[in-house]
Amino acid sequence: MCGIVGYIGAQQAPPILLEGLGRLEHRGYDSAGLVVRADGRGPRALRVAKRAGRVRDLAAALPKRFAGTAGIGHTRWATHGPANDVNAHPHTDADQRVAVVHNGIIDNAAALRERLAADGVELVSDTDTEVVAHLVGRSQADTLEGKVSEALSVIDGTWGLAVLHADFPDRIVVARNGSPLIVGVGDKEMYVASDLAALVRHTTTVAMLDDGELATVTAGGFTTLRHDLTATAKAATPVDVDPDSYEAGVHASYMHKEMLEQPAAAERMLRGRLDERFGATHLGGLNMEPREFRAIRRVKILGCGSAYYVGQMGAGLIEDLARVPADAEAASEFRYRNPIIEPDTLYVAVSQSGETIDTLLAVQEIRRKGGRVIGLVNVVGSAIARECDGGIYLHAGPEVAVASTKALTNMFLGFALLAVQLGRVRDLSIADGTRLVTAMAALPGLVGQVLAKEEQYAAVARTLAEAPSLFFIGRVRGFPVAREGAQKFKEISYRHAEAYQTSELKHGPLALIDPALPTVAVVPADDLTERNVGALHEIAARRGPLVVVTHEDVDLGGVEAVRLDVPRSEPELDPILMTLPLQLLAYHAALHLGHDIDKPRNLAKSVTVE
């Protein structure tokens, strides 16, 4: 969603800010802007440039002599008011002496706007953020930290924000509450950003603010404070990240790069975690003893979007291997139904970014009620990772494309590891444990084999892209695969794609089958194959075009269909291998349709507002 960058030092800020904003484009946005502190303390000390559209449009429109050695920039994903030049950040106070960029949502913005208007303040935008600029501008506190803290004391909601003030030219003040904010340490220069991606080309020594923290950032360093202005004395630490992993390199898009990285990412995920001798797994990050695993009577998985669908795959794995009741639920709905939190339930939060607000709030609700939550999270040190009692990091490496691929594969592997762990303290035999562990070890190679058939998928995708609407169907293990397939397809191709349980077709959706509506069917070789093939016949009888993701030895009974065969693994691991062709179908359909694959319209990489 929205992105923040800031710089203070001896260099010119605008090129650094524009480059940083460019690196945040993948998060999803519809306008961009920056403000710099120009030399001098006159009324023109702050210079703002902002506009609807892309960062490159902003760069092209920057006025001449737009210069300054301190500045903050923003990419906005519209929440309050349309995406236009006025609503773009930064927002300023009436005197243009305060400029604010903000990620998150101010829940009591309407009331604050009314109060400011009653005091004679003219609000020029539709945004919630503008109130922060006015509140800071009107504060009588002596310091910028005091002004920001005073403003924040009347605000309800979430924020990652950065403030520049003409009267305090040596600093940027930043604050975090529910929306990430990182301070980056350079050599006599400092950076701020909402995402590591914007910093890694400059520095990998960073401090991540906690909720409720503020920081003063000057060219010489930073100090962290609580909202009551007492020091928290946070230190910066190096993060282990390769800046090149944030580059698309030779690939036409990040999504393509990230799909092809899946064998290596899967290998990283499994490294050191498979115990072939005992047919077991090592998951030290869970901080749980075998007897605590044994005490678990239920597993509840929470995630959003694709993380929710892979959570459904995970629930299936856990029920199959550990025989513990398990289910997945959309984290976005969870806390609104006053959920019953059981002491012997293991809650699992699954998130690539670790910042998805719906998932984070679900975790907080569970912990508030005394439940135990573990995280399957990719981004180390992210909010969800920090909030959980323990976890399994995904080690997928940075995932930039909005459409999640390699993180998703590693989420599945995380569930497989957990399922074996839970199973082996119960009734999963050493033979079955070994069967699974051996299959997992071989999985990265099989992932590579599926991806190697990209050309075949591309040809099929071009045909599917011509259809205005598609069905994705599957049963039991295949159903979350179908859901994820439909999700990817609609996300980046903008074609209507709907997932159904194959068994549900006859209860309604079959009415829509005709030659214009292709169906992508997930048909593994398992005890449901015959029934699945029966459904394919019913679709073919109505002249519905069929693409079938299946195994080589599955006999489709002469039904006319395009087959996409994936290699056999152990049946429990089929879902992930069957998901891969669907990623590539979505990718090549979107490519064929000429879409911006890494920045699909209306979507954001990290959904940090409710």
Give the catalytic positions in this structure. 2, 605
The minimum distance between CB 484 and ligand AGP, in angstroms, equals: 8
CB 457 within 8 A of CB 584: yes
How far apart are alpha carbons 577 and 335 in whole angstroms? Answer: 33
E-strand stretches of 352-494: 372-377, 390-393, 469-474
Residue found under tokens 């504060």: 139
Alpha helices per DSSP H over 155-246:
none
The minimum distance between CB 486 and ligand AGP, in angstroms, equals: 11
In the numeric block, which tokens belong to residue 380?
Answer: 């180390």
The minimum distance between CB 193 and ligand AGP, in angstroms, equals: 18
Residue 162 DSSP SS3 = strand
Exposed e or buried b per residue across 191-230, where buried means at least 16 C-beta atoms within 10 angstroms of its C-beta: bbbbbbbbbbebbbebbbbebebbbbbbbeebbbbebeee
CB 76 within 8 A of CB 32: yes
Alpha carbon separation from 56 to 22, 208, 243 (Å, rounded): 8, 28, 22
Interface with ligand AGP (CB under 6 A): 304-307, 351-353, 356, 359, 402-404, 491, 606-607
Residue-by-residue DSSP string for 79-102: SSS-SSTTTSSPEE-TTS-EEEEE
The minimum distance between CB 408 and ligand AGP, in angstroms, equals: 7
How far apart are alpha carbons 492 and 597 in whole angstroms? Answer: 6
Strands 372-377 and 390-393: parallel
Give the DSSP letter of residue 106.
B
Residue-by-residue DSSP string for 506-526: GGTGGGG-STT--EEEEE-SS
- Which residue, 396 or 505, is less far from ligand AGP as judged by CB? 396
The minimum distance between CB 328 and ligand AGP, in angstroms, equals: 13
Long-range contacts of 144-148 (CB under 8 A, 24+ apart): 144/168, 144/171, 144/173, 144/216, 145/173, 145/214, 145/216, 145/225, 145/229, 146/229, 148/173, 148/175, 148/214
How far apart are alpha carbons 374 and 285 in whole angstroms? Answer: 9
- Which residue, 280 or 377, is less far from ligand AGP as judged by CB? 377
How far apart are alpha carbons 182 and 210 in whole angstroms? Answer: 9
The minimum distance between CB 373 and ligand AGP, in angstroms, equals: 14
From the list 179, 141, 173, the residue with the least C-alpha distance to 160 is 179
With a CB cutoff of 8 Å and minimum separation 6, the contacts of 609 are: 1, 79, 104, 105, 158, 357
- Which residue, 189 or 491, is less far from ligand AGP as judged by CB? 491
How far apart are alpha carbons 534 and 511 in whole angstroms? Answer: 17
Alpha helices per DSSP H over 323-429:
331-334, 357-368, 383-387, 406-424
With a CB cutoff of 8 Å and minimum separation 6, the contacts of 271 are: 395
The minimum distance between CB 357 and ligand AGP, in angstroms, equals: 9
CB 125 within 8 A of CB 81: yes
Alpha helices per DSSP H over 62-211:
109-118, 130-138, 144-153
The minimum distance between CB 377 and ligand AGP, in angstroms, equals: 8
- Which residue, 410 or 550, is less far from ligand AGP as judged by CB? 410
Which residue's Cβ has the minimum distance to ligand AGP?
305
Residue found under tokens 């080589």: 552
In the numeric block, which tokens belong to residue 126?
Answer: 């539709």
The minimum distance between CB 28 and ligand AGP, in angstroms, equals: 9
**Bond prior to 90 in cis (omega within 30° of 0):** yes
Tally DSSP H helices, then E strands, for the chain: 18, 26
How many Cβ atoms are within 10 Å of 370's Cβ, its own excluded? 9
The minimum distance between CB 352 and ligand AGP, in angstroms, equals: 3
The minimum distance between CB 500 and ligand AGP, in angstroms, equals: 19
